[in-house]
Amino acid sequence: MTTFAPFELRATAALPAGWLAWLGTALRTARPTNIQPMPDGFGALVPALADHGVLPLLYLRLRDSASWPGLPRDVQQTLTAAFQDAATRALLQEAALSGLIAGLAAAGVRVALLKGAAVGRTVYGSPAERPINDFDLLVPRAQVEAARAALIGLGFRALNLPQSGRLGARLRQFRAELPFMGVGPQYGGLLVELHWALLEMPYYIHRIPMAEVWDAVEPTGEAGMWRPDRAALLLHAASHLALHHSRDLRLIWLLDIDRLAADSRLDWQRVVRLADAWNLALAVQASLDAAARWLGAPAPAEVMAQLQHRASDPAARALWGLGDERPGRAWRRAVTTLAVLPPRAKLSYAGWLALRAAVAAGDALRSRGIEARHAGR
């Protein structure tokens, strides 16, 4: 039986055990010489497979295998349509991304791709194989204001943290990202998440030196586009899963980890060194282990042993799954963060919490005043 422990598969995209085992063989980086017949029930599982982001890659694997001619016609048509839709969407997204990067570059902002947009260019044959729903863009913290202004100038609106200047910078101190929604004809409906730190978790915002990430970025081969090196991409993929989606696993995230682990250009000793320095050994070890059990992710045994040895840190265990979407998340995050931060950072974080509460209270009072004035008209 396929198990992803300590992770839990997304509840709204459940798949039968037989299907999970078959997908693990069909989709792994090391292509099987012969793909076994597809289990029954494909039609009913299409929504779940789409939610997991695996339909385009599944189409390519089956199309190039001896199994394709024997598939029912409706299965072939559904898979073909899914890939064509993904390819069309990717083409439109690429055009939008080029415009975004050009606009940010014109404002003097340096940009690196994160998450699916970065991984899709690094370890997949094309962006169409790795569907994404938004763009995650990393910028230096010192250029956040310039990037924010550039995105607004391109037709985006910030979805939170509207403050700018010194107050805005202070409110962003223990935040890692700011979402923008595109409006207007060119970018309407496009979600862009602007990042200046790797993880939306105050402990790791304090822990991970972003200069070390920026010093190792690599060009994607497209004008003005960069991405973190493969070791940083692997750590980011693993930690995002462990910290924010431990109870909401999508299969595409394990496929990302499998492909990064199989990349011959990955520096495993850098992975171990960064995991130790950033206190992410637990997340990386658990993610690699889950990917290995499902997909055979080829992490060297000595690397897994080194990660296992470093995976017992109490802070890392306390932070596991802290970003999962669950009731009371904000309260648990604040209490746990105060418990694990070093003393000086703890004081700074407490001050930040107080400032954020004061700003929120002021915003609420202004909103009530506006509503009262409107009601009195």
User: Would you say the C-alpha torsion 233, 238, 239, 243 has a positive or negative sign?
Assistant: positive
Per-residue pLDDT of 265-279, as tens digits, reads 999 999 999 999 999
Quote the Cα angle for 275-278-279, to 5°.
75
Distance of CA 188 to the CA centre of its chain: 22
Spell out the domain ranges in the chain: 90-228, 327-364
pLDDT tier at 40 (50, 70, 90 boundaries)? very high
Per-residue pLDDT, 368: 65
Per-residue pLDDT of 54-99, as tens digits, reads 999 999 999 989 899 999 999 999 999 999 999 999 999 999 999 9
Per-residue pLDDT, 377: 58
As a whole number of angstroms, the distance between CA 144 and CA 163 comes to 12
327 pLDDT more than 90 = no
212 pLDDT more than 60 = yes
Q: Please, how many CA atoms are within 13 Å of residue 67, restricted to the half-sphere of its CB?
A: 18
Helix (H, G, I), strand (E, B) or coil at 16: coil
Whole-structure pTM over 0.85, yes or no? yes
Which region, left, alpha or beta, applies to residue 5 given φ > 0 means left and ψ of -120 to 50 means alpha? Answer: beta
Q: Return the higher-pLDDT residue of 126 and 143.
A: 143
90-228: CATH number = 3.30.460
Neighbours of 311 (CB within 10 A): 19
Q: Return the higher-pLDDT residue of 33 and 235.
A: 235
As a whole number of angstroms, the distance between CA 6 and CA 63 comes to 33
